[in-house]
Structure 1
Amino acid sequence: MVIALVRSIYVLGFQPVQEDSLRLVGLPDQAVPIVRSFADALEDALPGQVEGIYLVGSLALKDFRPGQSDIDFLAILDPAADLNALPSVHRLVSAAHPNVDCDGIYLSTGELALPPAGKGPSAREGKVVLASGDERHAVTWLTLLRHGITVKGRLPSSEWISADETQAAFHSRQNLISYWLPWLDQRRSLTEFDNWSVAWGCLGVARLHAAIVRNEILSKSAAGHHALQYFPRHQPIIEEALKLREGGPSGYSSTTMRASDLTKFMDDLINSLSR
């Protein structure tokens, strides 16, 4: 299996980085080949210009689900790096691992020492946008500082990461208004939600609630348990979302009731933060 993976890496056009140059110990077995392929492809495309590679998202928050979770990253590049090389990096990684997205943002040296601002390269679902505001916000900075996994580069520290709890909470509140409220409004007439939407909606707003009221960056699963403490009367739909997150079957006998419960929970949570 390992031999086959190494061969596929060579065939796809990028060379393995030396074993001792990357920190992969402790990562889930299913994530290691993907992270290595990404690091190899990036270094091959920009030799000597990759200053740091960090994992955030579900991997950093200890909630990685094979078959569900993406690989979320943050990479620091030399300011002289040719950003036009990035699309080919993600095409190679997508070809090697077509069932897992490697999503994240690229920053220049020193950018994390400043508050998030402006635009820069981002990758999502195998495609790169060179001038994107995606994920360039205070929650990303704070997640990196508190939970980021170092694959390459120096360890996260407040000495070079300008993380701000207040700004992270502000961004989370804005995200509730700009993304989640419209998301819910567009679906109010539905009498049925698919399993993915139930888990996405319920646990997504729960994560923001934790960031706002407790200044904590939680995984989706941890946010579900947080919501059980703060919204016990919505226990059925929260437990449903957690069960679906684990890949289990629905516990509801009525899809209409499930849709109603999800809408009521999301409304209650959003309204609780506007008082």
Structure 2
Amino acid sequence: MHAATDRLLRHFLEAAQPTVPLVALWAHGSLATDDYQPGRSDLDLIAILDEPVTMEQWRRIKRMHRGIDLPLADKLHCSYMARQELADLSAEHVTWAHERIFRRPVTAVTRRELHTRALELYGPPPAGLLPPVSDEELAEFVRADLRDFWLVMTRGRRRWLRDIWVDLGTVTVARATVTLRDGRLISKREALDVLHELGAPPNVVADVRARRYGTPAPVLSRFRRAKLARAFIRNTITRTLGPASP
């Protein structure tokens, strides 16, 4: 593992153990695959606790994350799930991400990732604690995410001038299409190859790949890129969801 990443994870585990009643700590996403890009990828963690987070623990979690003064700390995200809430897909869990604390559910995609390729940092593996996600639950979440979030986001134009929307939007629709078609999860690296199969504009794909992997970047204006990416994402979602989508 990347030295700075390994140091950060070891520091975080040492800090978390006296802060919360920690049962297990797992990583998912790029960190648990061969697709992790130091400095570009987020460090996505799940902490399993022996009891729900109290207000005092909420404050301790916030102080702990703010007190981490190490490289890549701004990339570290963690959701804190109590044992008693693991079976509830709709439960909102205390989460630190993007340098703030809030509550959000741990999605069906994340839960499936944890069962298929988690990096176990502490405690028992996911299979011993986390209920599995059925294929129906996974597909239902992916379809709802495309319909209720990403399709809605394509109605506006200004946000698509930003790198993050282009990068995440194009990769998400590719990954979602494969999940709904084949029932499997793919990495961001694999998604970039799938984008070509889906008819994504080659210069947009090259633009996304350049930011993630440092490959040569195409000559492409932000306005042209925004128009191409937004149209591709909207058309792909509509095609994937079928005629019932708005």
| CA deviations over 1:47-105 (Å, ceiling 9, x no partner) | xx211000012202332222222211111111276462244334333432375232121
SS at match of 1:73: strand
Unaligned runs of at least 5 residues, structure 2: none
Please, which moves more after superposition, 193-202 or 219-228?
A: 193-202
SS at match of 1:30: helix
Other-structure match for 2:51: 79
Other-structure match for 2:234: 267
8 Å Cα contact 1:54/1:150 also seen in 2: yes
Other-structure match for 1:200: 168
Letter aligned with residue 236 of structure 2: L
| CA deviations over 1:19-46 (Å, ceiling 9, x no partner) | xxxxxxxx33231122112211111223
Please, which moves more after superposition, 204-213 or 66-75?
A: 204-213
8 Å Cα contact 1:91/1:126 also seen in 2: no
| CA deviations over 1:207-231 (Å, ceiling 9, x no partner) | 22222222222222221112222x1
8 Å Cα contact 1:115/1:138 also seen in 2: no
Instruction: Tell me, in whole angstroms, the C-alpha distance in 1 between the residues paired with 2:190 and 2:163.
Output: 19
Please, which moves more after superposition, 174-183 or 254-263?
A: 254-263
Letter aligned with residue 150 of structure 1: E
8 Å Cα contact 1:74/1:104 also seen in 2: yes
SS at match of 1:76: strand
Q: 1:89 to 1:264 in 2, by over 3 A?
A: same
Letter aligned with residue 32 of structure 1: D
Q: 1:273 to 1:28 in 2, by over 3 A?
A: same
Other-structure match for 2:138: 168
8 Å Cα contact 2:8/2:71 also seen in 1: no
Matched length = 240
SS at match of 1:259: helix
Other-structure match for 1:107: 81
TM-score by length of 2: 0.84
Instruction: Give % identity.
Output: 21
Other-structure match for 2:181: 213
Other-structure match for 1:19: none
Q: 1:92 to 1:216 in 2, by over 3 A?
A: same
Q: Please report how far the alpha carbon of residue 170 of structure 1 lies from its aligned counterpart in structure 2 after TM superposition.
A: 1.2
8 Å Cα contact 1:252/1:258 also seen in 2: no
1:128 lines up with 2:97 in the alignment: no
Q: 1:212 to 1:155 in 2, by over 3 A?
A: same
Other-structure match for 1:5: none
| CA deviations over 1:155-191 (Å, ceiling 9, x no partner) | 232774222222112111111122212222111x68x
After TM superposition, list the pairs within 5 Å mapping 1:44-83 onto structure 2: 44-46=18-20, 49-79=21-51, 82=54
TM-score by length of 1: 0.76
Instruction: Tell me, in whole angstroms, the C-alpha distance in 1 between the residues paired with 2:166 and 2:180.
Output: 22
Other-structure match for 1:119: 92
Which structure has more relative contact order (CA 8 Å, sep 6+)? It is: 2
Instruction: Tell me, in whole angstroms, the C-alpha distance in 1 between the residues paired with 2:194 and 2:91.
Output: 33
Instruction: Give the structure with higher Rg (CA).
Output: 1
